[in-house]
Amino acid sequence: MSRRVLTALVLMIATGLVSGCAFMRPPAIADSIYTGGTIITVNDAQPSAEAVAVKDGKILAVGPLGSIEQAHKGETTRIIDLDGNTLLPGFVDSHSHAYMIGLQASTANLLPPPDGGGKNIESLLDLLEEWADNSESAVRKVGWIAGFGYDDSQLAEQRHPTRDDLDKISTKLPVIIIHQSGHLGVANSKALELAGVTAATPDPEGGVFRRREGSKEPNGVAEEYAFFYLMSKLAANFDDGVNDTLVEEGTKLLASFGYTTGQEGRAMGAALAAMQRTADAGKLAIDLVAYPDVLEVENPQPSPVYKNRYRIGGVKLTIDGSPQGKTAWLTKPYRVPPDGQRPDYRGYPAIDAQTTIDAVEKAFARGWQILVHANGDAASDRFIEAVRLAKEKYPRVNNRPVLIHGQVLRRDQVEELRELDIFPSLFPMHTFYWGDWHRRSVLGPERAENISPTGWVLKQGMRFGTHHDAPVALPDSMRVLSATVTRKTRSGRVLGPEHRVPVATALKAMTLWPAWQHFEEETKGSIEVGKLADFVILSENPLSIAEDRLAGIKVLEAIKEDQSIYRRQAEEAPLSGPSMVANTRFAMQAPKNRSQVSLP
């Protein structure tokens, strides 16, 4: 272009003669402008702002209120007044089980304080009866009485309930209760009978039916694959309507704690079908990414694209169990072995070495992301070995493999995670819920200090995610934040001071870094132009209040793509009733007397 032509073009632009050119179009008018409170962007290049403008569900502008209003405010723009509260990017779920959260929300809440009333075995029976009193339709439909969240480490008796305890609720109906870890449970005599579990029933591979002392008769407590077998008998009575309700209510509960992206971290047939139906019906409140069990689902068909807020992100593999339930696989013995086990008991793997290697290799060969549950350090060793072998065969595959939990990671293993580009999704909430139990009974004082070793991960310069693993605990985002920052146990002890992290870092582990984990860092995890308008509004600024107050911050509202999907009521009570989901098909009435619960 000649200088004369260029000069003429500049003059035409300056005088408005080329107003139709793209670079002269007027700024877009925002649908909404959020302002009037603290805005934490989780964007290091622009950590805070006065206002955020949104158009078509995406962030249009971030910056000073005056310039944003001047450029993007129109007659139809909504001004969202934060009223002094704090706006952050919506939380991204690093690991949980949305389908099972629906079960948690729809059965008797047996959690110990502060999340429920399960203090002793008698209180568990009372809670089960209370739920049955309000749940006749559900009991009729599925034919069981069920409760979720008991924790033997927090019960006054310091033991699991047994079939004999649950027989006090009913000898005519099956009764099953699920341990807070989700890896154990207890069945009454009727449930064992219907499942065909007797003294002659062998323990399944990767599981244990605990026995009455001095005999082979099951005492009702079932671990791992033995427990999953019992649960399969319960789920067999769920029709499509029940399964769909579990998905819908699970995602609603996640939204109530500020999660705008949820996860189903180990999906199988019925749950997968229910998630797809719920998405097709337009009933998902949040984005939901599912990871089918790689050993159970032959062709999961992962996709990077959401359809009706649902997609399959990859696959899941489970190597071991739960440290608090003492089924995780360790390299050194438990401090106090479970009843009936030898002093050198170290837990056990749920699958053998070759199965692990084959599953990880399959994921790499097909380019699937794989999430691997490994709590004990022996289980983490096996996962690390499998990834190393897979990378040797497929060195160019970038599928961001994820270690789920890694509770008992050793320092040398953290270095190997960095070397192999394994993303750690850690569980620092354990420091609050089970930190004292780990010191006293599970790992002992020295190993317990280093559960969920976020400090070691940060020293390696790594990203990490933090999770709640609901329904293991409530999907309480502020409890996740508090535990990651303070690492205080129920008794107030700081467990592993070197692993405490700053609040700003802990927020990244709930937003930007798990968005990266899910290959969604370009659209989620921070308040930046072009990303989705997924927000959470908190009652206080977590960066400015005392760290001991973090757990008390309230989620006031969750916003998905500029649409409010949850708003806290002024006098909203904590979720601690006999059924956490009100006004659903699970709200009903039934008989009261123990051992007399029956249906006509």
- pLDDT, one tens digit per residue, over 508-524 is 999 999 999 999 999 99
Count the neighbouring beta carbons within 10 Å of the beta carbon of residue 586: 25
Q: Using one digit for the tens of pLDDT, what is the confidence trace for 138-159?
A: 777 778 888 888 988 889 999 9
Confidence of residue 594 (pLDDT cuts 50, 70, 90): very low
Residue 10 above 60 pLDDT?
Answer: no
Termini Cα distance of the chain: 90
- Which amino acid, one-letter code, is at 503? V
- Parallel, antiparallel, or unpaired: how do β-strands 184-187 and 175-179 relate? antiparallel
Helix %, strand %, coil % of the chain (to 5): 35, 20, 45
For Cα atoms 75, 60, 313, give the angle at the middle one, nearest 5 degrees. Answer: 130
Share of the chain above pLDDT 70, in %: 91
Q: Using one digit for the tens of pLDDT, what is the confidence trace for 451-509?
A: 999 999 999 999 999 999 998 888 999 999 999 999 999 999 999 999 999 999 999 99
Residue 373 above 80 pLDDT?
Answer: yes
Both tokens of 504, joined, read: 């700003």
Both tokens of 517, joined, read: 């984990």
Cis peptide before 349 (omega within 30 of 0): no
* Nearest Cα residue to 536 out of 507, 575, 500, 504: 507
Domain ranges, ordered by start, for the chain: 3-84, 240-567
* Nearest Cα residue to 494 out of 413, 431, 412: 431
Asked if residue 588 lies in contact with residue 134, where contact means CB atoms within 8 angstroms, the answer is: yes
How high does pLDDT run on average in the chain?
89
Both tokens of 268, joined, read: 């199988």
Query: So what's the pLDDT on residue 571?
Result: 60
Count the neighbouring beta carbons within 10 Å of the beta carbon of residue 592: 11
Kindly indicate whether the domain formed by 3-84 is annotated with CATH number 3.40.50.720. no
CA distance 485 to 507: 10
- Please give the CATH architecture assigned to the domain spanning 240-567: Alpha-Beta Barrel (3.20)
Confidence of residue 182 (pLDDT cuts 50, 70, 90): confident
The answer to whether the Cα torsion of 278, 284, 289, 295 is positive or negative is negative
What's the number of CA atoms in the CB half-sphere (13 Å) around residue 555? 29
Confidence of residue 313 (pLDDT cuts 50, 70, 90): very high
Cis peptide before 114 (omega within 30 of 0): yes
Residue 530 above 80 pLDDT?
Answer: yes
CA distance 79 to 507: 26
